[in-house]
Structure 1
Amino acid sequence: MTPAIELESLHKRFGRHTAVHDLTLSVAPGTVFGLIGPNGAGKTTTLRMLLDIIRPTSGTARVLGEDPRTGGPALRRRIGFVPGELRMEGRVTGRALLDFYASVSGSVAPGRVDALAERLGCDLTRPVRTLSKGNKQKVGLIQAFMHEPPLLVLDEPTSGLDPLVQREFLSLVREARDNGQTVLLSSHVLSEIQQTADDVAVLSAGSIVARGAVADLRLGAVRRVRAVLTDADAEHVARDLAPLSPSHPVDVRTHDDRVIAHATIEGDIDPLVKLLARFHVAELVIEEPDLEESVLRLYGEDGGRAATRPNGGN
């Protein structure tokens, strides 16, 4: 089966700066592939090369079996794209703008635009220049999904969206996969990747440092914990939580007669919870760290390269 996306030794340099280095990657059709990494990792540059917005310095890319440099408008009509920096201006309404996009991208099923607008809570009667960032993002998502292209390339697609709309977007991604479409999703939000992606590649400094199934990469293994304790003193709390160090350093401070403990935990959080149970816990927050912290903690330069070897990565 021909891959939906196939990259071989792809490089991109801007002067002396190398944005993408020796990128080799294959994405199977009908799957959701997550491309993640910190700012400056090369994600957006890679996506732009797939769409022939910019061209590689060396190496090859094939998208839906074609070279993006020669595929032209016919290939681009088969791709739905949401850029990382979506700009919409002018007096034209959202509906008029989508009508224009439909004339460029190809036929759209009757009622498809209205159905997507209803699901995303998007008012298409307003001029796009008056829309908030989140509402502009909704129009961008509609134009990408409306013609049901074989390939969706989505660069930070939930930027500016509220949590309910983000949830609806994830449903759209899963439906696209079930419909046989391929989705390449670049995101800073780990939960989006974990809930939708079949496979993932982690980029750092323009190179793949880890690749494989989401569960195998343990992207959710690092969590930040914040506990607010009452009827306790900081010295006592620090002493009782000391067994977690040095692998899980804990920061303990006093604020307004309360003790606040911060910890970053990799793996099982049960030992921390049991230690906290010795005190009166007024608040307990467990959250996913930002992508950069999680990826770079789990896949530093040396460990990342080692992690890719079993899967044949770079």
Structure 2
Amino acid sequence: MVTVVETRALTKRYGRHVAVQNIGLQVQRGSVFGLIGPNGAGKTTVLRMLVDIIRPTAGELSVLGETPRRAGAAMRRRIGYLPGDVNLTDRVSGRMFLQHIAQLSGVVAEHKIDQLAERLELDMTRPVRDLSKGNRQKLGLIQAFMHEPELLILDEPTSGLDPLMQREFLAMVREASSVGQTIVLSSHILSEIQHAADDVAVLAQGRLVAHGDVASLRLTSVARLGAVIADTDALTLHTRMQALEQLEDVHIHPTPDDRIHRLTATIRGDMDPVVKALATFQIRDLTVEEPDLEESIIDLYARTK
């Protein structure tokens, strides 16, 4: 396996403030690597160091086999970079903007820009400064993908995109990975990383909380359960649910019908015993919600200490 990105003890300080500290990562060629964490966790700082927008205070950094601060423009042409805030104010059309970027980024295949614009449903004739946030994001994605770079570095790539375009973006990521391109992307949306990434690094307060493949990290080990149960009494339901070690914060809420009750709880760990226990009751409604990201990270941190 070929390592495309590697960091060792990567640290960035701004005076007394430590943005990231002792970050060690490895990204293999052709993989999709996700950086996940709440806003302010240090994700953007790490990605900006990869493309030499900012430089580390300490530690080692290798991208495409080179040190970014020494590699210069030649290495940057091998990268497609999408910043976290696509702030474009140009008067020119989207097409003219991308044609200008293409002169700097390297060879762009004929019709590639139009193909990407069609996939993302972007009107290329409108002035860049008149585009909505979502359409500016689409323009940013096109400029990152259009020259088919060896490495894509994408900071919060689905910000401002509607669900349909989010799915299209994930399809673009899978296609890029299938032909050997490497993708590093950040997000604060748990489900997005789970659907896109092979490997994940979890950041919190500038530190690496955990890293590994998506399945082994079990990032959704905490979930919220809601159910409406019929034809039972509150005491029986509460006793049965309290007996499950996977459930915490079990609450039984009354309804106008004393044989119908609303159950809420937190699921921690294996879902299967909970589903089997609920199946013994008559269920009128059932929801299992993804946890808040910070809650999931706190739980993950507790399990890896």
Q: Structure 1 length normalisation: TM-score?
A: 0.87
Tell whether 2:48 aligns with 1:51: no
Distance 1:197 1:280 in 2: 38
Q: Deviations over 1:157-188 (max 9, x none)?
A: 11121222111111111111111111111122
CA distance in 2, matches of 1:246, 1:167: 32
User: Distance between the aligned counterparts of 1:268 and 1:96, measured in 2?
Assistant: 53
Provide the residue aligned with 2:129 in structure 1: 129
Q: Relative to structure 1, is the Cα distance of residues 239 and 2 closer, same or farther in structure 2, using a 3 angstrom cutoff?
A: closer
Q: CA RMSD in A?
A: 2.4
- Give me the whole-angstrom Cα distance separating, in 2, the residues matched to 1:235 and 1:87: 57
Find 2:291's aligned residue among 265, 289, 296.
Answer: 289
CA contact (8 A) 1:188 1:290 kept: no
**Equivalent runs, 1:204-243 vs 2, <5 Å:** 204-229=204-229, 237-243=237-243
Letter in 2 for 1:269: M
2:299 counterpart SS class: helix
User: Which AA in structure 2 matches 1:53?
Assistant: I
Count of residues in Structure 1 that have an aligned counterpart in Structure 2 = 303
One-letter identity of the residue aligned with 2:196: T
Identity of aligned residues (%): 58
Q: Which amino acid letter does the alignment assign opposite residue 226 of structure 1? A: G
| Partner-residue secondary structure (3-state), 1:299 | helix
State the AA in 1 paired with 2:17. H
CA distance in 1: counterparts of 2:77 and 2:5, whole angstroms? 16
Listed as ranges, the gaps of 5+ residues in structure 1 are 306-314
Whether 1:267 aligns to 2:269 is yes
Q: Is the 8 A contact 2:246 2:270 kept in 1?
A: no
Give the counterpart letter for 1:82 in structure 2: L
| Residue pair 2:241, 2:247 contacting (<8 A) in 1 also | no
The residue correspondences of 1:173-212 to structure 2 (distance < 5 A) are: 173-212=173-212
Letter in 2 for 1:288: E
CA contact (8 A) 1:244 1:250 kept: no
**How far did residue 114 of structure 1 move?**
1.1
Counterpart Cα distance in 2 of 1:187 and 1:96: 30
How far residue 242 of structure 1 moved from its aligned partner, in angstroms, is 2.2
Partner of 1:155: 155
- 1:312 corresponds in structure 2 to none
Partner Cα separation in structure 2 for residue 255 and residue 144 of structure 1: 53
Structure 2: gaps of 5 or more residues: none
Give deviations 1:290-311, integer Å, cap 9, x for gaps. 32222221223xx434xxxxxx
1:277 positional shift? 4.2
* Deviation by residue 1:226-260 (Cα, 9 ceiling, x = unmatched): 22446777666444432236852223435777744
SS at match of 2:165: helix
Q: What is the letter of the counterpart of residue 268 of structure 1? A: D
